[in-house]
């Protein structure tokens, strides 16, 4: 059976820098899979390659058996792929509601869009309270909620999350991860890139460990939490 997302032997470069060195991973429909690793490991590059923001020099990225790299990044929302970038990337001069509407740019179903806005507000009640507020004035946590909500407006089958906990207070990190689980329960498959390895492994079913552009370990999340190398390098266990 074909995996929903399949990355096979992908090599990618930034100029002369070999950023991805033959990585292979897959994500089955309905899963939360996490990709953990330190700064410069290649986590964001992997997501950028999935989204066709970078082209692999060899290897392939497929969604439900179809090559994603033949599409432009702007076409991927219609294929069911949405990414929440590191740093959130909200439209700072637009209101919360306008940001959400931008997430549905490729859609024409007004009734469905209105329904999905209410779904986002149910996931993130804070956004409903702030619906008319200019997004650049939101807190970091609220902007993260908005970035995730905007991605959900495209009704993705696959949601890519790049460091959703970065810069957030611990109580907000817990809220964000709880919502990630709820989005998954509602039927969205998730690939989660995260430096907070403990939180990521607590909500994921499986995980991959990336070091300097190579997958060095893959297993179910519970086994990775018990792995001595993961504990020492990523979980802070001596």
Instruction: Please state the three-class secondary structure of 113-178 as a single string.
Output: HHHHHHHHHHHCHHHHHCCCCEHHHCCHHHHHHHHHHHHHCCCCCEEEEECCCCCCCHHHHHHHHH
Domain residue spans in the chain? 1-80+161-238, 90-155
CB 48 within 8 A of CB 68: no
Q: Which of 10, 143, 51 is nearest to 88 (CA)?
A: 143
The reported pLDDT for the residue numbered 11 is 97
Does residue 21 have a pLDDT over 70?
A: yes
pLDDT level of residue 1 (50, 70, 90 thresholds) = low
Interval 89-146: pLDDT, tens: 899 999 999 999 999 988 899 999 999 999 999 999 999 999 999 999 999 999 999 9
The reported pLDDT for the residue numbered 107 is 87
H or E stretch including 47?
helix 43-50
CB 180 within 8 A of CB 149: no
The reported pLDDT for the residue numbered 238 is 67
Q: What is the mean pLDDT of residues 158-175?
A: 91
105 CB neighbour count, 10 Å cutoff: 11
pLDDT level of residue 19 (50, 70, 90 thresholds) = very high
Please tell me the least confidently modeled range out of 16-25, 46-55, 165-174, 185-194.
Answer: 165-174
Task: Give the right CATH number for 1-80+161-238 from 3.40.50.300, 2.70.70.10, 3.40.50.970, 3.40.50.10130.
Answer: 3.40.50.300
> From CA 99, how far away is CA 91, in angstroms rounded?
6
% helix / strand / coil in the chain, to the nearest 5? Answer: 40, 25, 35
Provide the mean pLDDT of the chain. 94
pTM for the whole thing? 0.94
> From CA 200, how far away is CA 236, in angstroms rounded?
14
Q: What φ, ψ does residue 132 adopt, rounded to 5°? A: -100, 5
Interval 43-100: pLDDT, tens: 999 999 999 999 999 999 999 999 998 999 888 988 999 999 887 789 999 999 999 9
Residue 180, judged by CB atoms within 10 A of its CB (0-12, 13-18, 19+), counts as buried
> From CA 71, how far away is CA 82, in angstroms rounded?
14
β-pair type (158-162, 81-84): parallel
Does residue 39 have a pLDDT over 90?
A: no
């Amino acid at each position: 059976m074909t995996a929903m997302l399949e990355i096979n032997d992908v090599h990618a470069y930034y100029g002369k820098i070999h950023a991805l060195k033959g990585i292979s991973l897959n994500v089955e429909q309905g899963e939360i899979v996490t990709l953990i690793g330190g700064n410069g490991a290649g986590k964001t590059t992997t997501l950028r390659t999935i989204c066709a923001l970078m082209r692999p020099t060899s290897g392939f990225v497929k969604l439900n058996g179809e090559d994603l790299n033949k599409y432009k990044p702007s076409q991927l929302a219609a294929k069911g792929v949405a990414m929440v970038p590191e740093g959130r990337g909200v439209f700072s001069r637009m209101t919360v509601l306008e940001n959400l509407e931008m997430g549905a740019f490729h859609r024409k179903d007004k009734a469905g869009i209105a329904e999905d806005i209410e779904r986002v507000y149910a996931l993130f009640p804070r956004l409903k309270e702030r619906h008319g507020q200019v997004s650049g004035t939101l807190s970091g946590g609220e902007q993260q909620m908005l970035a995730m909500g905007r991605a959900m407006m495209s009704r993705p089958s696959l949601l890519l999350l790049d460091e959703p906990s970065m810069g957030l207070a611990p109580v907000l990190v817990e809220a964000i991860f709880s919502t990630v689980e709820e989005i998954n329960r509602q039927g969205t498959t998730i690939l989660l890139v995260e430096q907070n390895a403990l939180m990521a492994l607590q909500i994921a079913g499986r995980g991959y460990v990336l070091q300097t552009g190579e997958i060095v370990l893959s297993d179910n999340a519970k086994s990775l939490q018990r792995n001595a190398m993961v504990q020492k390098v990523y979980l802070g266990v001596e």
